Structure 1
Amino acid sequence: MTEELMANDFKAWVDQADMPKGKKKVIMAGLKLFSEKGFEGTSTQEIATESGMSQATIFKYFKTKDDLLKFIITPIMENIVPLYVVEFKNELENKKANLEDLIKFVVHNRYQFLVDNKEVALIVLSELLTKEEIKSQFVKMMTSRGPSIVDTFQKLMDQTGEVRPGLTPIEIMRLVVSQILIYFIQNYKIFPGRKETDVEKDLQVIETMIINAIRKPTN
């Protein structure tokens, strides 16, 4: 598993990985169904039907449904997300000290990351609160990678000179992340099929709302 390929696309990695075709079909079926119906809402029979494999074949490659979920989640949490965090941090560092441009970049960049990895993102978001192993992996990743993002974000916020006094970088990031996640879930779980032009307008509204909430008064 090369980091470069994994960072580009988990599905591309599965397609090119050295493993039996049947196993690939099971993985892709699990990815699709877990993201659409949730882990608990997906049966092994449904995975078998979606993949075109028998349940016996599924259990040949994965002893349990949990093992299949772990196979999907672990490389994402340990390889893809950390690489994206580093890339995001590097891009942040090159941004100009302008509040409007900075918030626009963060909103668009993080939303696009969720869209590019929507199946896994939906699985993680749905299982994060119920599965301790996934929660532990997520906390571990955020503990090791999060502080560098916060430090970079704080420096940029300070450089703009536009942020309302009393707001911490954590509070601002919490506001930004919550808005992006809610909108992502809305588009892919509640009201799917939103047009690209409408999404762009919606993101602009989110950006304006965040900027108005954190920008210090001009008078």
Structure 2
Amino acid sequence: MSDLGALSVIFDLDGTLVDSEPNYYEASRQTLAEHGVPGFTWAEHESYVGISTQETVTLWRERYGLRAPVDELLEATNRRYLELARTRTRAYPEMRKFLELLAAEGVPTAVASGSSPEAIEAILAGTGLGAYLRTVVSTDEVPHGKPAPDVFLEAARRLGAHPADCVVLEDAAPGAAAAHAAGMRCIAIPYVAAQADAPGFATAALLLRGGQAEFTAQSAYAWLRATAQPR
């Protein structure tokens, strides 16, 4: 029997389980260049980490004065991203080990992501991580994206778990804020280290300021075990 009590673990996908941001950056760079915005930099891209692609392209229209409709920008960016995601997405090795540890203990796990269902499917199939997950939820399937709690609450519902028994792993401040709003504990692993002091991370139960460089499967598992609630 697991010594983790009634625990369920919910993972963000992009920047948490997998390093997909380079693919999002390249898809964004190509789309913006096509619409007359050359020279989109990685530093500019970092400001969009943690929000949905639809929200991102909406902000582009305001920031860069784009005339193309949101739906057109979204379709172009998603199409380019999917092409990259299928073959160029790298799973973080320690996250894969962590999923394996949880699976061995029979801990229910899920992904709750701001990406589209198609993008999530492509990444999980390409990396093989889908084999460890009981359910997957996209922001497209709920009324509101992060920092609203909807996607995490839906993941808990599908797992048959009480929110208080769920721990979320997140790399972005809006996601950490969403976990708190859902009544869940959060292990925060900032993708952008300079954003570790963002207000959204302040409520995290465990904040790894150094991001993935500080995360290990064994230490995360030990933390879960030490803080587990009895069945």
TM-score by length of 1: 0.37
TM-score by length of 2: 0.35
